[in-house]
Structure 1
Amino acid sequence: MNETDLALLKAKYPTKTALATELINLEAILNLPKSTEAFISDIHGEYDAFQHVLRSGSGNVKQKVAALFAGKMTKNKISNFSFLIYYPKERLTAIKKRYASNEELCQWYLDTFTRLISLLHFVSTKYTRSKVRKALKPEFVYITEELLYADLDSVDKLQYYSKITENIITLGQADAFIIATCHSIQQLVVDHLHIVGDIYDRGPYPDKIMERLMQHHSLDIQWGNHDILWLGAVSGSQLCLANLLRICARYNNLSIIEDAYGINLRHLALFAEKHYQDNPAFQPKLMHNERPLSAAEKLQITQIHQAIAVIQFKLEGPAIARRPEFNMAHRAMLDKIDYAKQTIELKGKTYQLENTCFQTIDPKAPYQLTPEEQDLIDQLTTAFMQSDKLRRHMAFLVKKGSMYLTYNDNLIFHGCIPVDDKGKFQTFRLNGKDYAGPELLTVFEKNLRESFAYPHTTNDQATDLLWYLWTGPLSPLFGKHDMTTFERYFIADKETHFEAPNAYYRLRHETWFVDQLLEAFGLDPNTGHIINGHTPVKKGQSPIMADRKMLVIDGGFSKPYHKTTGIGGYTLLYNSYGMQLVTHQPFTSRADAIANLTDIISTKRVVDQVSHRKMVAQTDIGKKLIKQVRLLKELMLTK
């Protein structure tokens, strides 16, 4: 023990009794069962579906209700009670309408109090009392603890407990108490949350998701490629900003920019209206249940979509030229076009272009922004960097986020680890040094944090690397050789649309390869798993690979993916008994879920089951506690 550690411990535990008390507490905690972790990936702005999964604990709440009340509740009653816990405020409104008399309602309240306290006790048994107390709402801590730890066999206190519950009702606190208790149950059912990337883009409410995550009691985030665009825009990357706006226009989500983050797009709309017309390739993609757009709305979005796409393609050329280390010269498109013939030459083959919108491009200087375009992108960059709400959300994303995480024997990252066909780490050369494997992810993270802390609009290296993370051939978040955005807009031949995936996506089915990765990141292949998002699991494919060591949990929260996946997403639960993969059906709507008790949990599949329950001592937190116990015991010897 060094002198600093010794001094700190002596100050915190000045007596032998204080030391002994802490040792007793810590060694007892080490013998509690491991708490439950939940893994969610690729939320893509689908706030209501995300909220439902979060409130239900990926189905864990209903599982606990069914286990506790087996033989006492019918299947229908289990569902009703579970939905009360998911949506207590809304369900209370509906339930109270059923009771004609106050006496009947009071009886329902008393029965519900008893059931909720029983469930709260059931889900809190593997936690210390102090941890349970932190999960209770402060205004009801005293009442809840009295009921939670009640000795119902004691005749002397039965009237005491009865008076507590009666007064909750007579003093008008019944609804507030139920809501508070339901929220405590939600928190205790899942102790820690892992978000495995892509909170942003496609869906309409990423801002609401961020607000909800900022209220969560315990979580971490592994950045996804779509999250990087928003981090990049706030850090001054005009390329990230242009891509972000293009995607919002493509999926009819420009309201996120204006309504959620207060960024005015009027100048962009006026510029687009002046220079662009209707174009079928740039019309917004609408989901089947979205409000139909008027002709004027549809035209405006189509024009904006073209304007920002052209600005993006213009910005790409100079970035590729100033960063030869990115090896992306083949992705600079505008100088490969024959503007007179409206053709382009790619890989020695000439293609006819269609749906073109090149009216602001000077064929002699194709990457030169017009003065209007330059002014426009500069204004937008300033607006993004100065949006207080967006900056607050991105600061949280940076604080809680990382490129990868090792946690309780699991290696968690969004996309891939770039490798060649034989599984050897591919190297990315930066400033004269080669980076590969874990070091590659670390250097990207270092540059991301630097860019966010010191925003630049002058295309410094750290900012350019943010754009590379979105689209670069060795980006662990993208995981493909090319992003064929240009080809998908303007070339009919679908062969040009193909985006060759990194060899990682083929090799991750192989046990030897997954073992190799786990070892490279310091984990034991005999107990470890890799958990990914990023790639939707198509119909007929399994998300469980490599002898159950590789788990891909992007089943498709995003509605555009539902046709491909046939489901509404995967989530993963990891408790003291092992891992369960949860399959979700597509979420209809919050209103439907509340009114009709429409759940989206369809199946749970055991991925890994342990022969002996995993205890806190076997977790990462346990390792820290064991080290602390050792230090405390050393200090005891000096007393």
Structure 2
Amino acid sequence: MVRGTAVKGRPNKVMRLLAEKYPTKESVYEQLIYLQSRLSLPKGIEHFMSDLHGEYASFFHILNNCSGVIREKVDYVFGERLSAEEKAEFCTLIYYPKEKIEQMASKHQNTPEWYRRNLSQLLELSKLMSYKYPASKVNGFIPKRYEAVIVELMNTRPEADNAQFVYHKRLLNTIVQIDSGADFIEAFTVLIKRLAVDRLHIVGDFFDRGNRPDAILNLLMKHPSVDIQWGNHDVLWMGAALGNEACIATVVRNSLRYNNTDVLERGYGISLRPLTTFASRIYPDANPIKAAEKAITMMMFKLEGQLIRQHPEYQMDSRLLLDKIDFRSSHAVLGDGKRYELESAYFPTLDEAAADCYELTEKEAAIIADLKSYFEESTVLRRHVDYLYQKGSLYTRYNGNLLFHGCVLLNDDGSLRTITYKDRDFRGKGWFDYCDRLAREAYLHHTAEAVDFMYFLWCGRLSPVSGREFKTFERAYIPDESTWKEPADPYFKYVNNEDTCAMVLQEFGLDAQKGHIINGHVPVKVKKGETPVKAGGKAIIIDGGFCKAYHSKTGISGYTLISNSRGLRLLQHQKIADVREALRENHDIESVSETVELQTCRTTLGDTDEGRLIQDEITDLYNLLLAYQNGLIKPQE
């Protein structure tokens, strides 16, 4: 259907609005020429990362070096003109300009010649990297206060004409003479990093395990082009910020368990003092952190038990185990009907004679109420949750690819599973859409049902961001490790099957031949021979273990998937340098590159989602031009 056409000889609303924006035929000509030409440019570079889990140092370096892309461009541009040591130092300057300049100044090596040489090299690199973008877009990437001078430098051609050579040299010399070299170096590095990555996709899980998810979000909020697919650890924190008490207890327990309480106390201003004081009194023989973990764990089991009983539609009764404890024999009866010995039967806040073992004691209730007020009133946490809702969703369809964190629920035979919830049936995309709607209802309207639902999203067996049955009670209290195995959705097996991936892509309205499924959630154990590329390249699992707690399992330090105009490439990060190491030794990220898909024809902007929107605008502009030519609308002179 052609958009923007006139109806019954009268211009419609779209046409009238376009005529206000482009009031002359000349302005329409100009925009049509610009838009038609843009469609032929190569598509922008997309980077995909997942499961950052609070590892700020690793993420900071990867964001600064654009997953190694900048080093590749430096090698390409300067080749043998620079030695390996010179290129390494130049790359470090791009990654950490302020710190590198300070280091050079401390050694009295930041001479005028040093500034001129590096500015010239940064300019050369920027020019090459800008060729796939229209000039107007490149100008938008430059920090505004330096835009006029940098645009002028980008447009000089010193190799073509002596006058241009002199002009170019004078521009650089003047920058250095007026002592603004450091400022312009920083501005050029901002431009280069923006040219290197056009779109950043984070496929879930900012929180837990690592100690600085808050710093990651602060950094990401400055990035101009980001989308986020929520992971189960994200919805856990989102639920906690919205006041879900079971989510609050779980967040606190996870932070204590991984010894990263700084994110709570310093990052978000959430005090744990009442909890630790209480815990030290009831567990006097344990160290304060372990005592607090024990205390909040019992509160968590009580609170989640209350939610599970209130919401049988969650289908999580297998987690109701506090009432299955036999205190006299120190055993618990699990879902298989068998009795398992407990590691300890000392539960000072659990009264076997109480009418309801899932009810908090008076002191526990006071501690949870105190924690809840901190979570709800933390302005920093609120700002981060606002950002996650603004930029995030349960899934994203982008340029023909399907991005989600967890799984599409399947039956044992690989078909789409039907989930009955509140007397309604859902499956596939419909279940994702319903869960997304309830998560937003919790944020926008704060209804009790929706806020409760955030706990289900975090750990429900039928949650699309979880997809497995948690065994938290068993892992906490039962030493028999056979009880720890967590049954997972058949999706995690069938994702290796090409027909299954095709079915999932079609379910979400995507081309099964051209599209890919990109998700995280399950660490890929590379050291055991696992591969992230599934189903002949139709699915890519990009959880490579950014978190240090997973390095021993995965054997690597994370993945970055790169989509450019030539196809898909997966970077397997072996070792990620931190800031101090990079500055001291000019060390960089160590990665192994694997081509996932190589296209015979270059993908242009016209082949992308943005290109289709541009094509719609072009259609409207042609209709406006026709209206001008036919006299239906009178153009301005």
Alpha-carbon distance in structure 2 between the residues aligned to 1:588 and 1:149: 35
Question: CA RMSD of the aligned region, Å?
Answer: 1.4
Q: Does 1:375 align with 2:366?
A: yes
Q: Is the 8 A contact 1:235 1:454 kept in 2?
A: no
Which position in structure 2 is the counterpart of 1:533? Answer: 520
Q: Is the 8 A contact 1:536 1:554 kept in 2?
A: yes
What amino acid maps onto 2:390 in structure 1? K
Q: Is the 8 A contact 1:578 1:610 kept in 2?
A: yes
Q: Is the 8 A contact 2:61 2:577 kept in 1?
A: no
Alpha-carbon offset, residue 464 of structure 1: 1.8
Alpha-carbon offset, residue 278 of structure 1: 4.0
Which of 151, 156, 159 does residue 150 from structure 1 map onto? 156
- The secondary structure found in structure 2 opposite 1:585 is strand
Alpha-carbon distance in structure 2 between the residues aligned to 1:445 and 1:437: 13
Alpha-carbon offset, residue 357 of structure 1: 4.3
Structure 1 residues 438-587: aligned runs within 5 Å? 438-455=429-446, 460-480=448-468, 482-538=469-525, 539=527, 540-587=529-576
- The secondary structure found in structure 1 opposite 2:59 is helix
Which position in structure 1 is the counterpart of 2:631? Answer: none
- The secondary structure found in structure 2 opposite 1:220 is strand
- The secondary structure found in structure 1 opposite 2:572 is strand
Kindly provide the CA deviation profile for residues 211-254 of structure 1, in whole angstroms up to 9, marking residues without a partner as x.
Answer: 11111010000000101111001112111111110000001111
Structure 1 residues 323-342: aligned runs within 5 Å? 323-342=311-330
Which of 81, 84, 91 does residue 72 from structure 1 map onto? 81
What amino acid maps onto 2:488 in structure 1? P
Structure 1 residues 245-284: aligned runs within 5 Å? 245-279=252-286
Which of 570, 573, 589 does residue 600 from structure 1 map onto? 589
Which position in structure 2 is the counterpart of 1:16? Answer: 25
Alpha-carbon offset, residue 432 of structure 1: 1.6
- Residue segments in structure 2 that go unaligned for 5+ positions in a row: 6-11, 629-637
Structure 1 residues 171-320: aligned runs within 5 Å? 171-279=178-286, 299-320=287-308
Alpha-carbon offset, residue 554 of structure 1: 0.6
Kindly provide the CA deviation profile for residues 139-191 of structure 1, in whole angstroms up to 9, marking residues without a partner as x.
Answer: 21121111111021222233322222112111111111111111210111001
After alignment, is 54-63 or 361-370 more displaced? 361-370
Q: Is the 8 A contact 1:582 1:601 kept in 2?
A: no
Alpha-carbon distance in structure 2 between the residues aligned to 1:318 and 1:408: 43
Alpha-carbon distance in structure 1 between the residues aligned to 2:543 and 2:553: 12
Alpha-carbon distance in structure 1 between the residues aligned to 2:212 and 2:598: 36
Which of 53, 60, 64 does residue 55 from structure 1 map onto? 64
**How many residues are matched?**
613
Which position in structure 1 is the counterpart of 2:101? Answer: 92
User: Identity of counterpart residues, as a percentage?
Assistant: 39
After alignment, is 301-310 or 66-75 more displaced? 66-75
Alpha-carbon offset, residue 272 of structure 1: 1.3
Which position in structure 1 is the counterpart of 2:580? Answer: 591
Which position in structure 1 is the counterpart of 2:51? Answer: 42
Q: Does 1:624 align with 2:613?
A: yes
Q: Is the 8 A contact 1:197 1:222 kept in 2?
A: yes
Alpha-carbon offset, residue 589 of structure 1: 3.0
Alpha-carbon distance in structure 2 between the residues aligned to 1:568 and 1:586: 6
Q: Does 1:141 align with 2:132?
A: no
What amino acid maps onto 1:159 in structure 2? V
Alpha-carbon offset, residue 349 of structure 1: 0.6
Kindly provide the CA deviation profile for residues 565-590 of structure 1, in whole angstroms up to 9, marking residues without a partner as x.
Answer: 11000111111111110011243532
Which position in structure 2 is the counterpart of 1:437? Answer: 428
Which position in structure 2 is the counterpart of 1:284? Answer: none
Alpha-carbon offset, residue 430 of structure 1: 2.2
Alpha-carbon distance in structure 1 between the residues aligned to 2:310 and 2:108: 72
- The secondary structure found in structure 1 opposite 2:595 is strand
- The secondary structure found in structure 2 opposite 1:59 is helix
Which position in structure 2 is the counterpart of 1:30? Answer: 39
Alpha-carbon offset, residue 534 of structure 1: 0.8
Alpha-carbon distance in structure 1 between the residues aligned to 2:344 and 2:597: 51
Which of 119, 123, 128 does residue 134 from structure 2 map onto? 128
- Residue segments in structure 1 that go unaligned for 5+ positions in a row: 280-298
Alpha-carbon offset, residue 507 of structure 1: 0.5
Alpha-carbon distance in structure 2 between the residues aligned to 1:53 and 1:28: 33
Alpha-carbon distance in structure 1 between the residues aligned to 2:274 and 2:408: 41
Kindly provide the CA deviation profile for residues 235-282 of structure 1, in whole angstroms up to 9, marking residues without a partner as x.
Answer: 121111111100000011111111111122221122212222345xxx
What amino acid maps onto 1:14 in structure 2? P
Q: Is the 8 A contact 1:46 1:206 kept in 2?
A: yes
What amino acid maps onto 1:509 in structure 2? N
Alpha-carbon distance in structure 1 between the residues aligned to 2:62 and 2:506: 32
Alpha-carbon distance in structure 2 between the residues aligned to 1:316 and 1:621: 44
Q: Is the 8 A contact 1:234 1:452 kept in 2?
A: no
What amino acid maps onto 2:311 in structure 1? R
TM-score by length of 1: 0.94
After alignment, is 56-65 or 155-164 more displaced? 155-164
Alpha-carbon distance in structure 2 between the residues aligned to 1:13 and 1:431: 51
Alpha-carbon offset, residue 330 of structure 1: 1.6
Kindly provide the CA deviation profile for residues 324-355 of structure 1, in whole angstroms up to 9, marking residues without a partner as x.
Answer: 11111121110111122221011111011014
Alpha-carbon offset, residue 93 of structure 1: 2.6
Q: Is the 8 A contact 1:26 1:629 kept in 2?
A: yes
What amino acid maps onto 1:125 in structure 2? Y
Alpha-carbon distance in structure 2 between the residues aligned to 1:391 and 1:545: 37
- The secondary structure found in structure 2 opposite 1:246 is helix
What amino acid maps onto 2:113 in structure 1? Q
Alpha-carbon distance in structure 1 between the residues aligned to 2:128 and 2:252: 48
Q: Is the 8 A contact 1:236 1:455 kept in 2?
A: no
Alpha-carbon offset, residue 428 of structure 1: 2.1
What amino acid maps onto 1:599 in structure 2? D
Alpha-carbon distance in structure 2 between the residues aligned to 1:83 and 1:443: 46
- The secondary structure found in structure 2 opposite 1:547 is helix
What amino acid maps onto 2:514 in structure 1? T
Q: Is the 8 A contact 1:39 1:193 kept in 2?
A: yes
Alpha-carbon distance in structure 1 between the residues aligned to 2:426 and 2:324: 32
- The secondary structure found in structure 2 opposite 1:344 is strand
Q: Is the 8 A contact 1:531 1:553 kept in 2?
A: yes
Which position in structure 2 is the counterpart of 1:393? Answer: 384
Which position in structure 2 is the counterpart of 1:287? Answer: none
Kindly provide the CA deviation profile for residues 550-575 of structure 1, in whole angstroms up to 9, marking residues without a partner as x.
Answer: 10111000001000011000111111
Q: Is the 8 A contact 1:278 1:302 kept in 2?
A: no
Q: Is the 8 A contact 2:52 2:207 kept in 1?
A: yes
Alpha-carbon distance in structure 2 between the residues aligned to 1:502 and 1:266: 39
After alignment, is 487-496 or 152-161 more displaced? 152-161
